[in-house]
Amino acid sequence: MFLIGSYTYLTSFGNPEKIKKAQGTFRSAILGLVIFLGSYLILKTIDFLFLGGHDRIFQFKIEGP
């Protein structure tokens, strides 16, 4: 999204509508990055507090009988 926002900003040629669209794309990209990092930190905290901190929460395997 950062690349798309940059491309939109560079090709706007001073058009205020396209500049606003590029700024909105940047805001959305930053918000998505913050949500991604926040969810990662929450999962790491859950792993540390409840699973002993062995990164088991990121191993996607089902234990069988």
Residues 17-65 pLDDT 10s:
999 999 999 999 999 999 999 999 999 998 898 888 788 777 777 777 7
> Domain span at residue 19?
2-58
Taking the C-alpha atoms of residue 24 and residue 2, their distance in angstroms, rounded to an integer, is 11
State how many domains the chain has.
1
Q: Does residue 46 lie in a domain region?
A: yes
User: Quick count: other Cβ atoms within 10 Å of Cβ 25?
Assistant: 19
| Residue 22, in any domain of the structure | yes
**Is residue 7 in some structural domain?**
yes
28 occurs within a structural domain:
yes
- Residues 3-20: pLDDT tens digits? 999 999 999 998 999 999
Residue at 64 is within a domain: no
The verdict on residue 63 lying in a domain is no
Two tokens, residue 13: 């040629």
Structure tokens at 58: 């990121």
Of residues 30, 19, 16, the one with CA closest to residue 8: 19
